[in-house]
Amino acid sequence: MGRLFGTDGARGVANADLTCELAMNIGRAAAMVLGKGGKRHPKILIGKDTRISSDMLESALAAGLCSIGANVVHLGVVPTPAVAYLVKRYGADAGVMISASHNPCEFNGIKIFSGTGYKLPDALEEQIEAIVLDHEEKPQFPTGGEIGSISAAPQALRDYIDHVKSTVPEGALKGLRVALDCANGSSAMTAQTLFTELGAECHMLSDTPNGVNINDNCGSTHMETLMEYVKANHMDAGLAFDGDADRCLAVDERGQLVDGDFLMAICALDLKSQGRLAKSAAVGTIMTNMGFIRFCEENGIKFAATKVGDRYVLEEMLQEGYNFGGEQSGHIIFLDHATTGDGQMTGVQLLTILNRRRAHLSSLATLMARYPQVMVNVTVSREGKLRFYTDAEVNEAIERAKARLGTKGRVVVRPSGTEPLLRVMIEGEDHDEISALAHEVADVVRKRLA
């Protein structure tokens, strides 16, 4: 993980950690790195989510880019996967998304995509970091007609919606009654149009962003309201996105949560049945539920596990020639259609399967059995996060928990890539046992690293 760009871009509290000055300097450095191939005016797309700080950071970032000669194209409020798709469609050299995804409104972030639509390679991120943090290279400021320009792309949302629609048959969702929780984020701009045009009757929740209500007790990190709404209003299903719409979780007709592992099971088996699951493989992470791993074994699907983070899932997919992977959190990548996780595409694919099979989502979700899993998030200091790897007491506590579980479960303790947290996850057959073990380990982490 880099010093500036974590597992999912540069993030922090807007106007405190992620300042206008830092955004401008990232823009300058990005333009310098992207212009090294001899291109005088690299074309950079900028998208943003609905947080109040996004406009401020967008202006600073655009100013930095233009000051080095890059031409900026504003996409407006769009989902993160729209930037990843449009950067290639519009022939841009890079795309930038201003968002902190599922985090509260006071946070924001800057994520950069290359001209291919994939996240910027580590080597280029490191070059940007070296310019911003180490001042390894001084910017050269053009004047006159060499300064970059700013324009807009008014068709951005329409182009993205049409792309997602093109991945399923026309009218694929006809007859379905669906509740959509937009987290007061980017999908508020696209979801109703997308799902309605595919034939669904849409009931919208949390689709009125005001700059500060993004992810506020709504969306894929707060599923309670959607679960209640689906059950009370007899919906066929509910879908919840996060603030930048690269995640999707679902709710079945009974109001029960269907998380990313279940969504992956449903979609992977459907792809395999159609001969469209490359190498009959699915990629997950070390946090993927053991139930999904057993599901893969039972259905002739190879399971590959990576570190936590959709960038690592994608790297494994590209390296091994796989076309499907994702995370329990709802980041799911359909590589035949997208270069990053796309919550709305995941929702469209899921509901298309549901409608084609004339099945209830609760029935489809029985494809796998979920092993009990307990997650305890422990707030730690920056120094504590670094000491995690070397602290003897913490590592002894982890080893004790592993020894007590034996082959009946597993223990995963890892630093968050985006927050000041250590995540203690224990999985096994007995919920009470793993809960006690998780809190024992968390107590040691808290004592040693907070």
Q: What is the CATH number of the domain that holds 420?
A: 3.30.310.50
Domain limit, last residue, from 300, 332, 367: 367
Q: How far is CA 51 from CA 58, 92, 107, 262, 367, in A?
A: 11, 25, 9, 30, 38
Task: For residue 249, list its beta bridge partners.
Answer: 240
Structural tokens at position 117: 């639509």
CA–CA separation, 403 and 73 (whole Å): 55
Say whether both 314 and 226 belong to one domain: yes
How many CB atoms sit inside 10 A of residue 403's CB?
Answer: 9
What's the pLDDT score for residue 21? Answer: 97
Asked if residue 20 is part of any domain, the answer here is: yes
Are residues 415 and 322 located together in one domain of the fold?
no
DSSP letters, 333-361, are: EETTT-SS--HHHHHHHHHHHHHHHT--H
| Single pTM value for the model | 0.89
280 is catalytic: no
Same domain? For 38 and 143 the reply is yes
Residues 185, 143 share a domain: no
Residues 195, 320, single domain; the answer is yes
> Taking a C-beta distance cutoff of 8 angstroms, is the pair 371, 427 a contact?
yes
Residue type (1 letter), 99: S
Q: Are residues 63 and 24 in the same domain?
A: yes
Residue partners of 67: CB distance under 8 A and separation at least 6: 24, 27, 28, 31, 139, 141, 147, 148
Last residue of a domain, one of 92, 119, 154: 154
Q: Using the predicted structure, report yes or no on whether residue 169 has a pLDDT greater than 90.
A: yes
423 belongs to a structural domain: yes
Q: Clarify whether residues 75 and 198 are in a common domain.
A: no
Work out whether strand 10-13 and strand 107-114 pair parallel, antiparallel, or are unpaired.
Answer: antiparallel
Residue 4 lies in a domain: no
Q: Decide: 165 and 198 in contact? Cβ < 8 Å.
A: yes
Total domains present in the chain: 3
Does 1 reside within a domain? no
Instruction: List the structure tokens of 380.
Output: 């730690």
Of 101, 186, 206, 329, the catalytic one is: 101
Residues contacting residue 284 through CB under 8 Å, at least 6 positions apart:
261, 264, 292, 293, 303, 304, 305, 306, 313, 325, 326, 327, 328
In a domain, 62, yes or no: yes
Within this chain, do residues 208 and 338 fall inside the same structural domain, yes or no?
Answer: yes
Domain hosting 117: range is: 10-154
pLDDT band at 273 (very low <50, low <70, confident <90, very high): very high
For the segment 30-48, what is each residue's pLDDT rounded down to a tens digit? 999 988 876 789 999 999 9
pLDDT at residue 2, rounded to an integer: 62
Compute the average pLDDT of residues 160-183.
Answer: 98
Q: Report which secondary-structure segment, H or E, holds 240.
A: strand 237-241
If you write DSSP's letter for every residue of 223-268 in order, what string do you get? -HHHHHHHHHTT-SEEEEE-TTS--EEEE-TTS-EE-HHHHHHHHH
> What Cα–Cα distance (Å) separates residue 274 from each residue in 17, 333, 335, 403?
48, 18, 16, 42
User: How large is the average pLDDT for residues 159-187?
Assistant: 98
Tracing tokens 């202006």 back to the chain, one arrives at: 59
Quick one: pLDDT at residue 16?
95
Write the pLDDT tens digit of every residue in 309-335.
888 999 999 999 999 999 999 999 999
CA 233 to chain centre: 29
Q: What is the CATH number of the domain that holds 290?
A: 3.40.120.10
- 201-205/237-241 β-pairing: unpaired
Cα separation, 374 vs 438, in Å, equals: 7
- Whether residue 5 lies inside any domain: the answer is no
**In terms of domains, do 111 and 75 share one?**
yes
Q: Are residues 180 and 320 in the same domain?
A: yes
**What three-state secondary structure class fits 277?**
coil
353 shares its domain with 379: no
pLDDT at res. 191: 98
2 within domain boundaries: no
Share of the chain above pLDDT 90, in %: 85
Q: Does the pLDDT of residue 9 top 90, yes or no?
A: no
pLDDT band at 358; cut points 50, 70, 90: very high
Asked whether 235 and 354 are in contact (CB, 8 A), the reply is: no
Q: Which residue, 154, 169, 193, sits at the end of a domain?
A: 154
Give Cα separations from 53 to 24, 180, 244 (angstroms): 14, 25, 14
Section 255-259 average pLDDT: 97
Burial of 297 (0-12, 13-18, 19+ CB in 10 A): exposed
Which residues are 152's β-sheet partners? 74
Is the predicted pLDDT of residue 1 greater than 60, yes or no?
Answer: no
Gap between the Cα atoms of 102 and 243, Å rounded:
5
Q: Phi first, then psi: give them for residue 302, nearest 5 degrees.
A: -75, 135
Mean pLDDT to the nearest integer, 118-139: 91
Q: Is the same domain home to 136 and 167?
A: no
Q: For residues 288 and 328, is the Cβ–Cβ distance under 8 A?
A: yes
What pLDDT, on a 0 to 100 scale, did the predictor assign at position 383? 86
Least trusted range by pLDDT, from 138-152, 203-217, 311-325, 410-424? 410-424
